[in-house]
Chains A and B, each alone.
Chain A
Amino acid sequence: MSQQPRRQRTASEPVLSVENLRTEFHTDKEVIRAIDDVSFDVHPGETVGIVGESGSGKSVTARSIMGLVDDPGRLLDGSSIRFRGEELVGKTEDEYRDVRGDGIAMVFQDPLSSLNPVYTVGNQIKEALKLHQGLTGKAATDRAAELLKAVSIPDARRRLTEYPHQFSGGMRQRAVIAMALACDPDLLICDEPTTALDVTIQAQILELLNDIQDAEDLAIVFITHDMGVIAQVADRVNVMYAGEFVEKAPVEELFANPRHPYTQSLLESIPGRGDADERLQSIEGDVPTPHGAATYCRFAPRCPKAFDECDAIHPAHVDVGEEDVEHTAACLLYPDDLPQEEALAIHQERQTEAERTGDGDAQLVDENTPPEEEQ
């Protein structure tokens, strides 16, 4: 969609830095660890994708960042979410509210239910303007009309007085995007924003997001299950499975050299990748529901390349890419340039280290990543 080269990560400060994020839900029956030790960061002007199937924990990640995880869910100790350098975990609701909308904005999946049906679209956009920029009256109406125009909704002034049910699906999502951008956030989190839309409307929305990102140098976290969309929008991708990131790489690298068996299976099961006459590859079994910290590889039961140790050792992220490409995967098969016992030893060491410090892989990963990532 854009003619520019893929955005390269700059040495600038990340807008968002998530480290060792763990989120658990305590219900009467069970404990669900929806997110287990997830770390990533986002730089200004780039799009980081999170891709995974339903049940992988992608939406919970978004909500954890926004502070929208409520009882019976909570973030565990050790989780860190840094936005513009400021730590968000531990903020009170009031403090968080200042950040929401103003610093980080979110676009949800279903635009019809994301808008309050009894108020006009203009009313809801102006609500955001009033909250964060203190605009009221005519100034607010003018700005709201401008916002709708900026997302290519024609006849903007008239549309402001209409209700959500009078908009079509694609237009609604544009209005939601306009509302999210009302206060010039630095980071936009999109949770499956085009899943509910038709493919031609999806193309419009993706183009719109791209234009906005170019214009405002906006950082975007884009969550989806559609590999095709990820290929087109993301600069870097995190593949999520059962609450963990199993592979992290720049997008071309991920599609060209998928390392983790799950990523490979995902790519193979997309219709159209292989020969049309062949049967589609599929993955046996279902995504498991994690109930606590992982002490083994969660994908092992369904993995075509699993072996015995996969049930005993929790894989840590190791470098699997070329020299200057930041590509990590959490799989006991890697690093594959070492004999298997040595490789397993590395994972084992990380696991015991993590259990000892109770800190997950973060510390140790720091030692191995290129200098740019260090704070």
Chain B
Amino acid sequence: MSRWKYFLQRLVLTVPILLLAMSIVFLIVRAGPLDPARAIVGMGNPAGYHDVAVDLGIERAVRVDGEVRYVDVPLWQQYVDFMAGLLTLDLGQSWVIYPETSVYEVIALRAPRTLWLGFWSVLIALFVGIPLGFYAGLNPNTWGDYTASFGGIVWRAMPNFWLAVILVAVLSNSQQLFGFSWQQLVVPTNVVTAPNLGFLTDPGMFLSDPGRAFNQLLGATKQILPAAIVLGSSSMGNEMRIGRTAVLETINSNYVETARAKGVSARSIVWKHVFRNALIPLIPIITAEAFLLIGGSVIVEYIFAINGLGQLFFTAATKGDLPLVGSLAFIFILLTLSLNVLQDFLYTIIDPRVGYEEN
């Protein structure tokens, strides 16, 4: 089948996956060991409990003989309400961490930081890891190759929580260690704080007050860099190794030999013939690493005090703000599925054999 038809098929398949995933989230949140209302209200305070329960949709107030009673809403009804709410993108509100605040507001506050972190992590991994891998593959068994490969493995082996702590320590004491202060470099920042991302929410600032805007941009970048390096490091090592193998295999393939026999220049061979083919095995690696950035960021966000979505999720789960947990899970699942779709899209663009069936 044509490759775009194949892509469409994949796209359509994400819908049932989304529904299935959300159903599982529902089961965990509502039918799981924790009673959401109890978690919010705490032990004791029974009156408040019913109010919350009704608001959450777990119970219904019923008039019986002139009195108000509280009846459990059956699970299937809760399920229908839950899914309906999600599909109409009504994500509810946070109860514990930011009481009375809608989830959207919470996300709007926290998400940009996580995205900023994720963006830089992926960028570093991509633009350091892959070029290094290609370099190593094109010059195998040279000192450059050994250094790059070894470095990649070491970098990958370092646990990111450890690396994060070390970086924080080093940067905090940069004055004593290196003679210059990291905090004062270029733009004044703290080592551990959330980056100021005002320029993202208000892009018009670039036109109205460019000086301040760029200053903020620089500051935010510098702020996020250590965290991004930590988060991107293991991906980078992985992509480097796989990129190297991919290049080695491609270089030795028959079509590269044919190209050489045609008289194609070395540069053309690398950038035209090898590059695209070597990218094909890298696509699932890149997107898989991107998934990890969502979860793996919790620790890094915590250590660098970035206060992003990862940390929010963690706190919500531990503090019992289950509605928030459910809604955040939905966001994460959407993100994951989008990355999957992106992966399929990249495949479809790069490899024309996609969707082709052998006779």
A touches B in complex, CB < 8 A:
yes
**Which residues of chain B (178-226) have a CB below 8 Å from chain A?**
none
Binary contact readout B134-176 vs A (1 if CB under 8 angstroms, 0 otherwise): 0000000000000000000000000000000000000000000
Q: For the complex, count residues of B whose C-beta is within 8 A of A.
A: 24
**Contact check: which of A93, A117, A165 meets B255 at CB < 8 Å?**
A117
Q: Which residues of B contact A97 (CB under 8 A)?
A: 263-265
Cβ 8 A contact of A101, one of B254, B262, B272, B353 = B262
Q: Pick the contact of A163 from B273, B277, B352 — CB < 8 Å?
A: B352
Inter-chain contact count A-B, CB under 8 Å? 74
Interface residues of B in 227-278 (CB under 8 A from A): 253-255, 257-266, 268, 272-273, 276-277
Closest A residue to B255 by beta carbon equals A116
Interface string of B265-299 (1 = CB under 8 A from A): 11010001100110010000000000000000000
A117 close to B258 (CB less than 8 A): no
Per the 8 Å Cβ criterion, residues 324-358 of B in contact with A are 350-353, 356
Known: A163-B352, A163-B353, A165-B353. A115 touches B255 (CB 8 A): yes
Q: With the chains together, A219 CA to B357 CA distance in Å?
A: 39
Given A118-B350, A118-B352, answer yes or no on A113-B264 (Cβ-Cβ < 8 Å). no
The reply to whether A127 and B277 contact each other, CB–CB distance below 8 Å, is no
> Which residues of chain B are near A180, meaning CB under 8 Å?
262
Given contacts A116-B277, A117-B277, A165-B353, are A102 and B263 in contact (CB under 8 A)?
A: yes
Known: A113-B253, A114-B255, A118-B351. A165 touches B356 (CB 8 A): yes
Beta-carbon nearest neighbor of B274 in chain A: A116
A176 partner, pick from B258, B276, B352, beta carbons under 8 A:
B258
Smallest beta-carbon distance A177→chain B, Å: 12
Binds B, one of A18-26, A104-112, A227-235: A104-112
Contact of B263 among A113, A132, A176 (CB under 8 A): A132
B352 touches A108 (CB 8 A): no
When chains A and B are docked, how far (Å) is the Cα of A165 from the Cα of B357?
Answer: 10
A110 near B254 with CB under 8 A, answer: yes
Nearest neighbor of A118 in chain B, beta-carbon distance: B276
Q: Which of B261, B264, B272, B353 has the most CB of A within 10 A?
A: B261
Cβ-defined contact, A131 with B263, below 8 A:
yes
Q: For the complex, is A302 an interface residue (Cβ under 8 Å from B)?
A: no
Q: Cβ of A313 < 8 Å from any Cβ of B?
A: no
With beta carbons under 8 angstroms apart, the residue of A68, A93, A117, A179 that contacts B353 is: A117
A108 near B263 (CB under 8 angstroms)? Answer: no
Residues of B within 8 A of A100 (CB): 260-263
List the A side residues contacting B266 at CB < 8 Å. Answer: 93
Cβ-defined contact, B254 with A108, below 8 A: yes
Q: Check if A115 sits within 8 Å of B276, measured CB to CB.
A: no
Most chain B CB within a 10 A radius of its CB, from A101, A105, A166: A101
In the complex formed, the residue of A with least CB distance to B258 is A114
Nearest chain A residue, comparing its CB with the CB of B358: A165
In the bound assembly, the distance between CA atoms of A93 and B265 in angstroms comes to 9
Q: Is the CB of B258 within 8 A of A118?
A: no
When distances are taken between beta carbons in the complex, the residues of chain B under 8 Å from A115 are 255, 258
CB-CB under 8 A from B276, the residues of chain A are: 118
A77-104 vs B, CB cutoff 8 Å, 1 = contact: the mask equals 0000000000000000100011111100
Cα A68 to Cα B259 in complex, Å, equals: 11
Q: Which of A120, A131, A165 contacts B262 (CB 8 A)?
A: A131
Q: What 0/1 pattern do residues 113 to 154 of A give for CB contact below 8 A with B?
A: 111111110000001100110000000000000000000000
| A-B contact list, 30 entries, CB within 8 Å | A68-B260, A68-B261, A93-B266, A100-B261, A105-B262, A106-B258, A108-B257, A108-B261, A113-B253, A113-B254, A113-B255, A115-B255, A116-B273, A116-B277, A117-B351, A118-B280, A118-B350, A118-B352, A118-B353, A120-B352, A127-B262, A127-B264, A127-B268, A128-B263, A131-B264, A132-B263, A163-B352, A165-B356, A176-B258, A179-B262
